[in-house]
Structure formats: structure tokens, C-alpha cells
């Protein structure tokens, strides 16, 4: 199995398939159910945060850090996914609710547009993958993974230098270059869906994976959805500011 989405890799799956029983195997339907359960928790938490935006706004950083820590635990200890993935979904929902409310107060209607575009991209990528228009080859996986890691390093580096008072122009710029970079990042995020779909297919049809991987797969899909949504939100805001 080739390397893929940083959340989906060969070592993870080799560890996952050891010493499991067939009756406890991961299934496609189970993965779909777990994914919808996580999205439901995320949406409910988001709606709560949206309605209580002013009261929760001051806790955004704290919630985001706690959610990030939970996500890291899930990534490095996949057996914890049935318990921690729902907690992550709730925490992420709270952060998204606060961020979305802030964006919507500045740009009326932008959140509905971002949600619609994100869901349309998800549906399009699923169609392209299922019809074979996009083929998840080893080269495709390597390219998308390298781009994803590069973007992650850029964001991490920006966060670190930001702690020392250094402003990274990209995050506040509305220039044509910033918009093009934003679009490229959105495309990379979308391409990760194809890798997610491919590895879920492998886990549910070619490999006998343990049941807890249903939660982990749902968690990974939600991470990609959240990433794409935030990038689309940023892109729409840039476009309105021009």
C-alpha cells in the first residue's frame, strides 16, 4: 500500500490489521455511519457556538489548542478513535462556529456560500473518484502528500514566527498572488479526498481492518472537510475585499 494522506499511511494500516477477528472488521457502511455521526456532532456544536459567539469568542484559542491535542492523540493512537474522535468533532465544531460567526458578521452570507462550495467539492471529488476520472496512483499520492506537508509546514512556520511578532503577509493580503495561492491550497485539500476514498476502499474491500478504524476514517474525512471549508472561507473573504 502506498503512502497517502498523512492521516492514512501504510504503517497505520499494518498495525491496524494485526490480530483482529473477521466479525469485528471495518465495513464501508460502518465508516459512512461513523462519519455522519462525527459530522452531526460537529454541526450541533457549531450551531451552539454560533448562537453563543460573544460568550465563547474569548475561549477560541484554548478550545482550538485542546482540539488539536485530541487530534494528535487520535493520529498517534488510533485505538482511541471511538472515544476521542467524537470529542474532536465537538471541539472542532465549537471552533468552526466561533470562526464562522466572526466571518459572517463581517461578510453577510459568506458562511452559507463556503458550506455549499465545500459540499459541492466533496461530492465532485467522490464522483471523479468513483468514475475513475481521478486515479489514485502512487505518483498522485506522493505529489498530494508532499504538497499537503509543505502547506502544513508553512502554516506551522507562520504560527511560530507569529509568536515573535512577525507578520506573514499571506494571511492578511488580498492580492492576486495571495488569491492564487489560496486557490492552490483549496485544490490540494480537495485532492486529499481522493486519497481518503482510496484508502477507505482498500480497508473495507482488500484488507480486514479492525472496527475502530471506522471512527478513524471518519475522523480523517472530517479533518479534510474542515480544512477545505476554512480555506474556502478565507478565499471568499479575500474575493470580497478586492
pLDDT tens digits, one per residue of 215-242? 999 999 999 999 999 999 999 999 988 6
What's the confidence (pLDDT) of residue 160? 80
> CA triplet 141, 143, 144: central angle to 5 degrees?
65
What's the confidence (pLDDT) of residue 162? 75
For residues 3 and 76, what is the distance between their CA atoms, to the nearest angstrom? 16
Q: What is the pTM of this model?
A: 0.86
- Of 54-63, 93-102, 183-192, the range with the lowest mean pLDDT is 54-63
25 bridge partner residues: 210
pLDDT tens digit sequence for 48-71: 999 999 899 999 989 999 999 999
Provide the mean pLDDT of the chain: 89
Residue 135's Cβ-count burial label (10 Å; 0-12, 13-18, 19+) is exposed
Instruction: Answer yes or no: are the C-beta atoms of 193 and 129 closer than 8 Å.
Output: yes
Domain ranges of the chain: 25-241
Contacts of 126 (CB under 8 A, 6+ apart): 193, 197
- 3-class DSSP assignment, residue 141: helix
What's the confidence (pLDDT) of residue 13? 55
What's the confidence (pLDDT) of residue 14? 57
Amino acid at each position: 500500500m502506498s503512502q497517502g494522506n498523512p492521516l492514512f499511511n501504510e504503517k497505520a494500516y499494518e498495525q491496524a490489521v494485526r490480530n483482529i477477528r473477521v466479525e469485528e472488521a471495518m465495513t464501508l457502511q460502518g465508516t459512512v455511519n461513523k462519519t455522519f455521526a462525527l459530522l452531526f456532532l460537529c454541526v450541533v456544536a457549531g450551531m451552539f457556538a454560533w448562537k453563543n459567539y460573544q460568550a465563547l469568542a474569548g475561549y477560541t484559542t484554548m478550545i482550538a489548542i485542546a482540539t488539536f491535542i485530541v487530534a494528535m492523540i487520535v493520529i498517534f493512537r488510533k485505538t482511541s478513535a471511538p472515544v476521542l474522535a467524537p470529542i474532536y468533532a465537538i471541539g472542532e465544531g465549537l471552533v468552526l462556529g466561533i470562526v464562522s460567526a466572526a466571518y459572517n458578521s463581517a461578510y453577510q452570507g459568506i458562511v452559507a456560500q463556503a458550506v455549499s462550495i465545500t459540499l459541492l467539492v466533496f461530492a465532485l471529488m467522490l464522483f471523479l473518484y468513483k468514475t475513475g476520472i481521478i486515479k489514485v496512483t502512487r505518483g498522485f499520492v506522493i505529489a498530494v502528500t508532499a504538497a499537503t506537508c509543505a502547506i502544513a509546514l508553512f502554516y506551522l512556520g507562520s504560527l511560530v514566527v507569529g509568536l515573535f511578532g512577525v507578520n506573514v503577509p499571506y494571511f492578511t493580503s488580498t492580492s492576486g498572488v495571495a488569491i492564487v495561492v489560496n486557490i492552490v491550497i483549496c485544490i490540494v485539500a480537495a485532492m486529499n479526498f481522493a486519497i481518503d476514498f482510496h484508502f477507505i476502499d482498500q480497508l473495507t474491500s482488500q484488507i480486514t481492518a479492525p472496527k475502530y478504524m471506522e471512527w478513524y476514517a471518519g475522523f480523517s474525512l472530517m479533518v479534510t472537510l474542515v480544512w477545505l471549508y476554512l480555506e474556502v472561507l478565507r478565499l471568499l473573504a479575500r474575493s470580497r475585499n478586492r
